[in-house]
């Protein structure tokens, strides 16, 4: 039977055209606008902030009056309660107009990924809410359809069909938990949530403010762009994907439950293997066959460019969060150079310290990582009334920009009307706001001289740790770049001071500041522990934690730590197959690190936190999850040896000396626990020496400069 691909494409386009959203909203003078960033399936967090800002009542019904609410995308993936989030947002959209209000939900990169069946980040637990009573029957039927299709299609292409063993079946089922198939139907072109999502915008202009998920690259958009054009591009690309998928299902190349990866695999198999008859001979292609091959080739080429998955396009671009506020200011001005557009409000890049204002209020970043389990952030909303922008949290509020502040310069914290509403210092900092007296520390921990290099491998003009600490405190902070690894969301900063140019890691993570712990395990994740680890390493004579200081930047307190250039993590080394040149030295460095980790109760030492510099010196990095109040000596059985000087320091340092260095950073209970672990470490090493002899346990570890 002939296939009519034209008809399939037209039908898919028609299905998409429902629930079209407006591109521009004109608020009344003084009308309240509330923006909420990335939700990622955290229903409880969403409800908590909606209640806090008086948009919903205890029954979850709209009570926001004529407020205009804008959600900037990314309400799917990673969290477990995606369906509940869908339902609440859809409900509020319907209820708000009765009170004169509006709810606008935008598309983020994660919704676009889902609509393209790129389900990499979907939490398996989230599918259960979509499962029906016949979930198992549906899975069984889908598996049978998959097997039947593969056997038929692989024969036509002369391929060896998969061996559909029990293990193969179990693996297929494991990747499609109960509710997975129903979810694909639900977000499909004919599904309830799919139709709703396909009517969403990527960009919305409300008065003088433009809302979107991520940002715009001036190299692509410049000053020649419009809300309507970007939204039209998104709808076009989603519709195109739906058309290709419908055609492939009709042709029998895929089942309706195959994801993007399986679609691409099927397309490439078909294109690379000519059609064959039952005897395995190549068949002459009909006009429909040739048309279908052309369609598959279009799909393979198109999917790499569609806006849903393009890391440099409007749903993914991170320049708004990463740009340098001085060097890249012109880029922002170029994008805003259109009538009556003065501000961008975007999500996408988590801000560990709350809503961030950049470029003097031209850009507001509202992704506060409210899915705490993954990002460790807190629910927040940005309220806009005329020219006043206020960050609203569950326990506080902060005016970021108002008529009292200049539109060209950010408000100065600690001066004028803004000072009175600056959020209070976190509880973890109460009484711990300053580093220890430098002269007192220097008396206990002498400076350490060594060669630091820049990214080109050339020696830096600074050598001593004390000099590095001064530079970290005083250097001008330039461009920030979000690092793609790590759960603490660190950012790397370009820093300059006089003739010195270097890079540093800026950490602001502060999770579990109330110090509550469950069942003997720590839940804290705190930037101040990084500074405590550094000073303790100095006190012990290790000097293997990169210099780090406490510092406020942009109204946010965090830690700036020197970036070790031309370095390699243990993860990199293993992946690249690089051999360690001196296994004996590595063993000694590794054992010394294990002693240090046991002392500070480091819960996050992994291959990514073990760093080799260009001389194969081992550095210890990332200690934000350390200093537990549990005095347990973890992994003592793995400690077989120790640096002689370190062992001596562990034995001879007094409790008062250790407390003097650590008290500015740690609670008393944490210091007490560390002192108990110190005694246990000493006893453990003394026992090893008694059993094996000093020569077998102690060694002299040297630093290679």
The pLDDT tens digits of the residues spanning 299-330 come to: 888 887 787 777 778 899 999 988 988 889 99
The most distant pair of C-alpha atoms in the chain lies apart, rounded to whole Å, by 89
Give the Cα separation of 3 and 575 in Å (integer): 48
Mean per-residue pLDDT, 626-645: 88
Mean per-residue pLDDT, 183-194: 95
397 forms bridges with which residues in the sheet?
A: 392
642 forms bridges with which residues in the sheet?
A: 698
The residue with tokens 């347990």 is 632
The per-residue pLDDT for 246 is: 94
Name the more confident of 283 and 488. Answer: 283
The phi and psi torsions of 528 (rounded to 5 degrees) equal -65, -25
Q: How many CB atoms lie within 10 A of CB 208?
A: 15
Mean per-residue pLDDT, 423-434: 32
- What confidence category does residue 115 fall into, taking pLDDT thresholds of 50, 70 and 90? very high
Per mean pLDDT, which range of 321-330, 556-565, 627-636 is the poorest? Answer: 627-636
The per-residue pLDDT for 4 is: 39
36 forms bridges with which residues in the sheet?
A: 71
Percent of the chain with pLDDT over 70: 85
The length of the chain in residues reads 705
Sheet holding 343-346, edge to edge: 24-25, 203-206, 209-212, 343-346, 363-365, 356-358
Res 1 pLDDT > 50: no
Dihedral, CA of residue 303, residue 305, residue 308 and residue 314, to nearest 10: 180
Name the more confident of 408 and 634. Answer: 634
Q: 439-476 in b/e burial notation, b at 16+ Cβ within 10 A?
A: eebeeebeebeeebbeeeeeebebbebbbbbbbbeebe
The per-residue pLDDT for 444 is: 61
Res 357 pLDDT > 90: yes
Average pLDDT of the chain, as a whole number: 83
pTM over 0.75: no
- What confidence category does residue 520 fall into, taking pLDDT thresholds of 50, 70 and 90? very low
3-state helix, strand, coil in the chain (%, to 5): 40, 15, 45
CA-to-CA separations, 192 to 71, 110, 238, 672, in angstroms, rounded? 19, 18, 16, 57
- Are 633 and 540 a contacting pair, CB within 8 Å? no
Q: 42-52 in b/e burial notation, b at 16+ Cβ within 10 A?
A: bbebbbebbbb
Domain ranges for the chain = 5-27+39-317, 438-699
For the chain, the straight-line distance linking the first and the last C-alpha, in angstroms and rounded, comes to 76
Mean per-residue pLDDT, 242-246: 93
Tens of pLDDT, residues 173-182: 888 999 999 9
Res 493 pLDDT > 50: yes
Per mean pLDDT, which range of 223-227, 323-327, 401-405, 576-580 is the poorest? Answer: 401-405
Helices (H) and strands (E) in the chain, counts: 23, 24
Q: How many CB atoms lie within 10 A of CB 144?
A: 10
CATH of domain 5-27+39-317: 3.60.21
The per-residue pLDDT for 489 is: 64
Per mean pLDDT, which range of 105-114, 160-169, 417-426, 570-579 is the poorest? Answer: 417-426
What residues have CB less than 8 Å from 9, skipping those under 6 apart? 243, 246, 247
The per-residue pLDDT for 162 is: 63
- Are 115 and 187 a contacting pair, CB within 8 Å? yes
Of the ranges 223-237, 379-393, 561-575, 596-610, which is most confident? Answer: 379-393
> Which token pair is 553?
């930047």
Mean per-residue pLDDT, 33-42: 96
Nearest partner of 36 among 276, 371, 516, judged by Cα: 371
Bridge pairing between strands 556-562 and 500-507: antiparallel
Give the Cα separation of 291 and 23 in Å (integer): 37
The per-residue pLDDT for 158 is: 54
């Amino acid at each position: 039977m002939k296939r009519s691909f034209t008809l399939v494409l037209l039908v898919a386009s028609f299905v998409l055209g429902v629930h079209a959203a407006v591109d521009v909203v004109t608020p009344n003078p003084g009308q309240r606008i509330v923006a909420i960033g990335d939700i990622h399936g955290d229903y409880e967090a969403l409800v908590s902030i909606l209640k806090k800002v008086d948009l919903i009542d205890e029954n979850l019904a709209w009570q926001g009056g004529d407020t205009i609410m804008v959600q900037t995308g990314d309400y799917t993936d990673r969290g477990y309660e995606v369906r509940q989030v869908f339902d609440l947002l859809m409900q509020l959209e319907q209820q708000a107009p009765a009170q004169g209000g509006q709810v606008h939900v935008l598309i983020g990169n994660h919704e676009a990924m889902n609509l393209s069946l790129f389900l990499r980040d979907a939490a398996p637990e989230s599918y259960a809410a979509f499962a029906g009573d016949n979930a198992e029957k549906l899975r069984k039927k889908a598996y049978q359809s998959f097997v039947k299709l593969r056997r038929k299609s692989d024969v036509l292409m002369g391929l060896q069909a998969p061996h559909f063993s029990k293990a193969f079946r179990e693996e297929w089922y494991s990747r499609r938990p109960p509710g997975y198939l129903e979810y694909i139907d639900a977000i499909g072109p004919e599904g309830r949530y799919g139709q709703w999502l396909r009517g969403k915008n990527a960009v919305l202009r409300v008065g003088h403010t433009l809302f979107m998920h991520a940002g715009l690259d001036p190299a692509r958009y410049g000053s020649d762009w419009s809300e309507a054009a970007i939204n039209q591009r998104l709808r076009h690309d989603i519709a195109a994907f739906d058309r290709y998928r419908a055609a492939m299902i009709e042709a029998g190349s895929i089942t309706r439950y195959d994801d993007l990866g399986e679609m691409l695999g099927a397309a490439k198999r078909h294109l690379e293997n000519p059609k064959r008859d039952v005897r395995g001979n190549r068949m002459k292609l009909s006009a429909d066959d040739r048309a279908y091959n052309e369609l598959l080739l279009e799909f393979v080429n198109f999917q790499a460019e569609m806006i849903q998955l393009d890391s440099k396009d409007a749903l993914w671009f991170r320049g708004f969060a990463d740009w340098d506020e001085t060097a890249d200011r012109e880029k922002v001005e170029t994008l805003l150079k259109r009538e009556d557009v003065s501000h961008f409000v975007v999500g996408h890049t988590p801000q560990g310290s709350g809503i961030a204002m950049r470029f003097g209020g031209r850009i507001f970043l509202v992704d506060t990582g409210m899915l705490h389990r993954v990002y460790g952030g807190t629910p927040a909303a940005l309220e806009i009334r005329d020219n006043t922008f206020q960050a609203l949290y569950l326990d506080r509020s902060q005016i970021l920009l108002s008529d009292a502040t200049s539109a060209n310069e950010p408000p100065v914290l600690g001066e004028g009307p803004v000072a009175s509403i600056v959020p209070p210092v976190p509880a973890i900092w109460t009484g711990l706001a300053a580093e220890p007296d430098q002269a007192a520390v220097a008396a206990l921990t002498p400076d350490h001289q060594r060669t630091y290099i820049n990214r080109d491998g050339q020696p830096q003009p600074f050598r001593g740790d004390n000099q590095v600490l001064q530079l970290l405190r005083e250097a001008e902070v330039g461009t920030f770049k979000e690092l793609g690894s790590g759960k603490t969301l660190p950012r790397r900063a370009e820093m300059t001071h006089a003739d010195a140019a270097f890079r540093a890691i800026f950490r602001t993570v502060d999770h579990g500041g109330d110090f509550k712990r469950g069942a003997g395990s720590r839940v804290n994740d705190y930037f101040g522990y990084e500074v405590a680890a550094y000073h303790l390493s100095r006190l012990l004579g290790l000097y293997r934690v990169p210099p780090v200081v406490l510092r406020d930047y942009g109204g946010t307190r965090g830690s700036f730590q020197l970036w070790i250039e031309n370095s390699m993590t243990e993860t990199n080394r293993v992946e690249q197959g690089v051999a360690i040149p001196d296994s004996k030295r590595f063993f000694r460095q590794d054992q010394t690190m294990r002693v240090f980790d046991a002392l500070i109760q480091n819960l996050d030492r992994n291959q990514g936190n073990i760093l080799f510099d260009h001389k194969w010196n081992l550095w210890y990095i990332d200690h934000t999850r350390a200093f537990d109040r549990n005095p347990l000596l973890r992994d003592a059985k793995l400690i077989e040896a120790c640096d002689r000087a370190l062992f001596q320091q562990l034995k001879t340092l007094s409790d008062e000396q250790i407390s003097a260095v650590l008290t500015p950073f740690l609670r008393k209970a944490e210091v007490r626990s560390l002192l108990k672990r110190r005694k246990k470490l000493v006893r453990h090493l003394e026992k090893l020496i008694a059993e094996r002899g000093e020569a077998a346990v102690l060694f002299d570890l040297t630093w290679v400069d």
